[in-house]
């Protein structure tokens, strides 16, 4: 059976992994813009972006769980792979809680208060740190240990 994946991709994870990163970083920038300009459309956009980032993180996390069973992980990379999986779960959980909190506060209108908005922005920055750690471990798997890559002919 033919696959929809390009021949160079061992699984779908490398094709998905950058979406939650991009959406989350865009959400943080939009959140900062909202803090500065206080536009209602930015408030709605920020909430939507954080929810989409959490959904993208879920899909990416699940694809990563599937990917680790497909690719060959050298013995020396197993600890890094385990840490990457753990941090992927932490990232997913953090994104999910942050998105749910933001959605609830949006629904109640409490995110309009400057103090709450600043705390939410700081929460987004904290999420960027968690995301960065997860990405660092994923990059280490690929670029240091060669996990998921194919040798050129």
pLDDT per residue as tens digits for the range 13-69: 989 999 999 999 999 999 999 999 999 999 999 999 999 999 999 999 999 999 998
10 Å CB burial of residue 26 (0-12, 13-18, 19+) is middle
Q: What is the mean pLDDT of residues 87-97?
A: 98
Q: How far apart are CA 36 and CA 39, in angstroms?
A: 9
Q: How far apart are CA 1 and CA 145, in angstroms?
A: 30
More confident residue, 136 or 70: 136
Q: Does a structural domain hold residue 127? A: yes
Q: Does a structural domain hold residue 113? A: yes
Q: How far apart are CA 120 and CA 50, in angstroms?
A: 11
User: Residue 49 has what pLDDT?
Assistant: 98
Q: Does a structural domain hold residue 100? A: yes
Buried b (16+ CB within 10 A) or exposed e, 42-57: bbebbbbbbbbbbbbb
Nearest one of 6, 19, 4 to 54, comparing CA atoms:
19
Structurally, the chain folds into a number of domains equal to 1
Q: Does a structural domain hold residue 8? A: no
Confidence of residue 148 (pLDDT cuts 50, 70, 90): confident
Evaluate if residue 151 carries a pLDDT over 60: no
Q: How far apart are CA 15 and CA 19, in angstroms?
A: 8
Q: Does a structural domain hold residue 149? A: no
Q: Does a structural domain hold residue 153? A: no
Confidence of residue 2 (pLDDT cuts 50, 70, 90): low
Evaluate if residue 3 carries a pLDDT over 80: no
Q: Does a structural domain hold residue 119? A: yes
By residue range, what is the domain housing residue 44?
14-143
User: Residue 1 has what pLDDT?
Assistant: 40
Q: Does a structural domain hold residue 1? A: no
Confidence of residue 8 (pLDDT cuts 50, 70, 90): confident
Alpha helices in 38-147, H assignment, sequence order:
40-70, 78-108, 114-143
């Amino acid at each position: 059976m033919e696959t929809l994946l390009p021949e160079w991709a061992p699984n779908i994870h490398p094709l998905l992994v950058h979406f939650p990163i991009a959406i989350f970083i865009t959400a943080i920038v939009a959140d900062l813009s909202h803090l500065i300009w206080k536009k209602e459309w930015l408030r709605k956009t920020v909430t939507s972006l954080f929810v989409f980032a959490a959904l993208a993180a879920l899909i990416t996390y699940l694809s990563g769980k599937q990917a680790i069973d497909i690719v060959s992980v050298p013995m020396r990379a197993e600890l890094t792979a385990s840490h990457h999986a753990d941090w992927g779960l932490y990232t997913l959980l953090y994104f999910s809680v942050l998105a749910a909190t933001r959605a609830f506060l949006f629904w109640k209108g409490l995110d309009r208060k400057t103090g709450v908005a600043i705390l939410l922005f700081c929460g987004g920055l904290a999420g960027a740190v968690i995301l960065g750690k997860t990405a660092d471990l994923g990059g280490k798997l690929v670029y240091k240990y060669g996990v998921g890559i194919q040798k050129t002919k």
